[in-house]
Structure 1
Amino acid sequence: MSAKNLNEQLDAKLIPQQAFDWYDEYAHGDINRRTFMTRLGSLSVAGLSLGLISSALIPNYALAEQVSFNDPDIKASYAEFDSPNGHGKGNGYLVVPSKLNSKAPTVLVVHENRGLNPYVKDVARRLAKQGFIAFAPDALFPLGGYPGNDDDGRAMQRSLDRDKIEQDFMAAATWLKKHENGSGKLGVVGFCFGGYISNLLAAAMPKQIDAAVPYYGTPAKAELQAEVKGPILIHFAEQDKRVNATWPDYETVLKANNANYEAHFYAGAQHGFHNDSTSRFSPKDAELSWQRTVDFFKKHLS
């Protein structure tokens, strides 16, 4: 993350925790935009206007690019896959290292609850820079794809059948594991809703998923959790009460499964701390968690 981008973001320490909590409710569809903005307007914070706080919380994707789509080390394109149990066809952003001397491990990248936005595409490019073949499907493909803004993206994703979305990601995983330049080793990483999908795939496809990394995602349904064997690396934000409340029971199941798992809690971090397009972004936690993620994939997908 460049110093310029950091300077363009409001210091998270200046924003009351209430505002982060309300944004989490808004981002997950529990309240609408009008309610969110009304609540923000009720805050009395010296020197911070409603506009300043809201613009700091709502993603600015111009800040999120760490790897250019023109980077000579990677080649980005789009690819379609069959999803007979989902929406019939799926599509996603495929990024491969530009120079492959041998078969490369593959990683499925799963977006949040609003479609394939620029931040998640950048995550795929970051993985390709590390030598992985990365594929980021867009759950909104049946409706024309990510619309260019998160509000419409959230509404579109809510309108789709949840079971079919899950089947689309399972189909994407199956397709990617068989990629012609892939080594046959498959990892998955996802954020928020994508964290849930990462947990789901680890439970529903334990023989196909060789390593899973959910970021602040809820676990799969209770009846599936017993299938999780790992390896799985789980990242939590300390301030993320909604997701963290699911962890004690999930960890009990993982222990009973003798699963190969790691879990890390990042002190003071907000839900979404890896997303570098808002003031929820925590540079040190994002960097540490990402290094752990890359190392985890290199260990288990080599």
Structure 2
Amino acid sequence: MLIRTDETADVGTPTGKMRVYLSRPTREGRFPAILLFSEIYQVTQPIRRLAAMIAGQGYLVVIPEVYHEYEPPGCVLSYDNAGTDRGNDLKYLKPIASFDSDNVALIDWLEKHPACSGAFGAFGVCLGGHLSYRAALHPRVQAAACFYATDLHGATLGAGQADDSLARADEIKGDLMMVWGQSDPHVPYAGRRVIRDRLEEAGVKLEWHEVDGQHAFLRDGAPRFDAALFLQAMSWTNTLFQRNFLPRPA
């Protein structure tokens, strides 16, 4: 399916304008919207290629700049020590309530978008894996794919250590897919067990994958990129979204 990736918009949120990037099919129509959440570096080229991959399956994919309160529109942090330090600082500076109000504002904006069908899903990697999980707390989100979500097991996302993500697991009503690299130092085995135990306890509709990979194994062009795992992960993602968004036989 041919797609276009040249659209941006500035969405109003309670904490200021948020630049978003859209990828969607070129043909006319209304498509399920996928909120795609980036790593701590914001909307890098690998993230935009992920969006294109998903949009090509028939979705309206929207990537928000998660640090819009602190960086100017269009800011992309570098994959180096300085960019990593800045991205990590901001994920602990921004209140978790602001991450949530961004999601509400984005869904409200998409509901009026002429290419949105009114169905919503989420996808995210690293910080974005956690934010995809937070999006799943919204009652409109039917399916969320969360890849190597950081700060979830330790409840350490956001300012003031007010992270209640796992505590609110009972609120997730859609399908949740979580994917982890077994060699990920940010989410060790014990942390993954904390997360899975809580989700099982809450009765979440859960799909769980642990693979022989490292953190950020989806980031193409980087040393930890694993092409075989990338293809497998996209297959899982496509199946998750098809299960929730494709018309079912009567």
Q: Is the pair's TM-score, using the shorter chain for normalization, greater than 0.5? A: yes
**For 1:107 and 1:148, how far apart are their aligned partners in 2?**
23
Q: CA RMSD in A?
A: 2.2
How many Å apart are 1:78 and its aligned residue? Answer: 0.4
Aligned equivalent of 1:124: 51
Q: Secondary structure, in 3 states, of the residue corresponding to 2:39?
A: coil
Which residue identity is paired with 1:98?
T
Task: Considering fraction of residues, name the structure with more strand.
Answer: 2
Is 1:255 the counterpart of 2:200? The answer is yes
Of 83, 106, 115, 2:42 maps to 115
Contact 1:212 1:232 in 2 (8 A): yes
Give the TM-score taking structure 1 as reference length: 0.68
Which residue identity is paired with 2:224?
R
Contact 1:177 1:186 in 2 (8 A): no
Q: Secondary structure, in 3 states, of the residue corresponding to 1:233?
A: strand
Residues matched between the structures, number: 226
Gaps (5+ residues) in structure 1? 1-70
Of 194, 219, 222, 1:275 maps to 219
**For 1:115 and 1:298, how far apart are their aligned partners in 2?**
27
Give the TM-score taking structure 2 as reference length: 0.82
Contact 1:106 1:177 in 2 (8 A): no
Which residue identity is paired with 2:66?
A
Aligned equivalent of 2:156: none
Aligned equivalent of 1:291: 235
Is 1:91 the counterpart of 2:19? The answer is yes
Q: Secondary structure, in 3 states, of the residue corresponding to 1:243?
A: coil
Aligned equivalent of 1:77: 7
Q: Secondary structure, in 3 states, of the residue corresponding to 1:210?
A: strand
Moved more, 249-258 or 121-130: 249-258
Which digits, 9 at most, give the CA deviation of each residue in 1:82-128, with x for residues without a partner?
111xx22111111111003x321110110001211111111111122
Aligned equivalent of 2:175: 231
Identical columns (%): 24
Contact 1:94 1:134 in 2 (8 A): yes
Which digits, 9 at most, give the CA deviation of each residue in 1:194-234, with x for residues without a partner?
0010111213x1x1111000000043533222222330111
Q: Which has the larger radius of gyration?
A: 1
**For 1:150 and 1:169, how far apart are their aligned partners in 2?**
25
Contact 1:117 1:146 in 2 (8 A): no
Of 191, 203, 214, 2:146 maps to 214
**For 2:67 and 2:201, how far apart are their aligned partners in 1?**
36
**For 1:147 and 1:250, how far apart are their aligned partners in 2?**
30
Gaps (5+ residues) in structure 2? 153-163
Contact 1:77 1:95 in 2 (8 A): yes
Aligned equivalent of 1:55: none
Aligned equivalent of 2:210: 265
How many Å apart are 1:75 and its aligned residue? Answer: 4.4
Of 132, 136, 156, 1:198 maps to 132
Is 1:180 the counterpart of 2:125? The answer is no
Contact 2:2 2:56 in 1 (8 A): no
Distance 1:241 1:233, change over 3 A: same
Q: Secondary structure, in 3 states, of the residue corresponding to 1:229?
A: coil
Which residues in structure 2 correspond to 1:113-152 (within 5 Å)? Answer: 113-142=40-69, 143-144=71-72, 145-147=74-76, 149-151=78-80, 152=82
Contact 2:132 2:146 in 1 (8 A): yes
Which digits, 9 at most, give the CA deviation of each residue in 1:230-251, with x for residues without a partner?
3011111010143243222222
Contact 2:3 2:23 in 1 (8 A): no
Which digits, 9 at most, give the CA deviation of each residue in 1:161-182, with x for residues without a partner?
2433443244223323443221
- Structure 1's consecutive aligned runs of 4 or more residues displaced over 3 angstroms after TM superposition are 150-157
**For 1:178 and 1:243, how far apart are their aligned partners in 2?**
37
Which digits, 9 at most, give the CA deviation of each residue in 1:257-287, with x for residues without a partner?
22211001112x1111111121101111111
Contact 2:13 2:105 in 1 (8 A): yes
